[in-house]
Structure 1
Amino acid sequence: MRTHDLHLPETVEPHFFNSPDEAAVALADAVARHLSERLLIAPRASLVVSGGSTPVPFFEALRDKTLDWPRIDVLLADERWVPEDDKASNTRLVKESLLQGPAAEANYLPLKASGETPADGLEAVKANLGDLHLPLDVLVLGMGNDGHTASLFPDAPELDRAMDPDSGEIVAPMTPPSQKEKRISLTLSALKQAGFTALHLKGDDKLETLQAACSDLEEVREMPVRAFLKPGLQIYWSA
């Protein structure tokens, strides 16, 4: 699919790049700028990131930015309920790829706690996030080919509660049958009002998924990413 065939809502701003490295550098520049601006007027700033392979170049570009990292709270949009040393752990990815060099001084807020299931560890995770200031400052999301973002999967039985914009809950356990691991995710209520929100994508398949999402913005439950296709969203895509 060609980028000019993509029909985005007018209020969504796309940034298209030829390579993942170009997209990563541009996104890192934008994120660093927004964090710096926030720290000029607030004692702390929050940065929410996503897992997977796509954000690794972005993490590597961001971690060497000259920021007041000790005043930045870093957390994930979602996490698999696995030990940190598991190769599927998003925490492991963030610590190895982002929280290095200057960024190692950031304050990391884990979404994984003790307990056999996300439901068992839910209260402990909420306690971990107790000092997190809302609304979030910077949010970088990914998207799956089923239209999920964070761990807001269309087939998760907990989706309606996690997508309730007025719930007031910050996290929710998610157990989509389509996924191998149980998960925990920030809720729509927590994610929806971030000061800067970017959707970071790679590949033609993601453009096709995005076009499908744009075709019917009202059917949010079928493709939860639709909840974020709203004014101010920045899309960073590369081939």
Structure 2
Amino acid sequence: MKTLDINVPEGVDVVTAEDAHTVASMLAEKVAGVLANRLRQPGRASLAVSGGRTPVAFFELLARKPIEWARVDVVLADERWVEETHPASNAALVKRYLIQGPAAAANFLSFWRAGMSPVDASADADQALAAIEWPLTALVLGMGNDGHTASLFPDAPELYQAMDVKRPNHVVTLTPPSQPHARVSLSLRALAGARYKALHLRGMDKAETLKLACDQLDDVAEMPIRVFLRLGLVVYWSA
């Protein structure tokens, strides 16, 4: 079995397995447990998830968990500014694979606002998300090979504002030149406070990126994932 041969920072745990499906199953079991534990108390639970190909199996497995989904608010860590009919839409991905079966009872809050600019939609979504539980009960992040996570891209002109935890915004707009679409994303303030934080990765390329991120934790502008490695989280990885 391939393992992560990386010296991770203190506070970072690593979970690996033989294959991606097993890792997705372990992550789904853990997140379901975190949500169920929160739901033993009055109130609601909140879950933020990421898009891309990697989390599809995790979504499908989590959706089947018999928790009290009607008391769970699901939000995206970030979204490309495209309609939900677009193949790049994270909202469409989450609706297709996670908001199904038992999890169809969850309250899913999309960032997309038809007819609005990304900036106006961010402000509107920020107000809508004020009603969910903060800090987030659980957060599942992904990571790009440039070290971005959510839509905290190294080349985004708005990166410093998005990572300024003194700003009150939970939702921000970013326009990284490296990307074909504008982005709407949870801010660092919104993401960093999550009670349970996981980073879900697949592939040796992501292992190499993670190693590079761990080697120089101080330069967070170069690789924003370093902020979360410094805060502490659980890495779920398969080759």
For normalisation by structure 2, the TM-score amounts to 0.96
Q: CA deviation at 1:123?
A: 2.0
Aligned pair 1:157/2:144, yes or no? no
Question: What's 2:75 paired with?
Answer: 75
In 1: Cα distance, 2:182 partner to 2:232 partner: 31
Question: What's 2:93 paired with?
Answer: 93
Moved over 3 A (4+): none
Residues 146-169 of structure 1 show CA distances to partners (whole Å, capped at 9, x for unaligned) of 000000000000000001122121
Is the CA contact 1:3–1:207 (under 8 Å) kept in the aligned structure 2? no
Residues 187-239 of structure 1 show CA distances to partners (whole Å, capped at 9, x for unaligned) of 00111010000000000000100010001111111000001003541000011
Question: What's 1:205 paired with?
Answer: 205
Q: Indicate how the Cα distance of structure 1 residues 182 and 41 shifts in structure 2: closer, same or farther if over 3 A, else same.
A: same
Question: What's 1:105 paired with?
Answer: 105
- Give the residue type in structure 2 aligned to 1:204: M
In 2: Cα distance, 1:169 partner to 1:128 partner: 12
- Give the residue type in structure 1 aligned to 2:136: L
In 1: Cα distance, 2:187 partner to 2:24 partner: 26
In 2: Cα distance, 1:204 partner to 1:198 partner: 18
For normalisation by structure 1, the TM-score amounts to 0.96
Is the CA contact 1:148–1:223 (under 8 Å) kept in the aligned structure 2? yes
CA RMSD of aligned residues (A): 1.2
Question: What's 1:20 paired with?
Answer: 20
In 2: Cα distance, 1:73 partner to 1:231 partner: 24
In 1: Cα distance, 2:164 partner to 2:4 partner: 33
Question: What's 2:217 paired with?
Answer: 217
* Percent identity between the two aligned chains: 53
In 2: Cα distance, 1:33 partner to 1:56 partner: 19
Question: What's 1:169 paired with?
Answer: 169
Unmatched runs of 5 consecutive residues or more in structure 2: none
Question: What's 2:64 paired with?
Answer: 64
Q: CA deviation at 1:7?
A: 1.0
Size of the alignment, in residue pairs?
238
Q: Indicate how the Cα distance of structure 1 residues 4 and 79 shifts in structure 2: closer, same or farther if over 3 A, else same.
A: closer
Please give the secondary structure, in 1, of the residue aligned with 2:40: helix
Is the CA contact 1:111–1:128 (under 8 Å) kept in the aligned structure 2? no
Q: CA deviation at 1:4?
A: 4.8
Question: What's 1:132 paired with?
Answer: 132
Is the CA contact 1:196–1:232 (under 8 Å) kept in the aligned structure 2? no
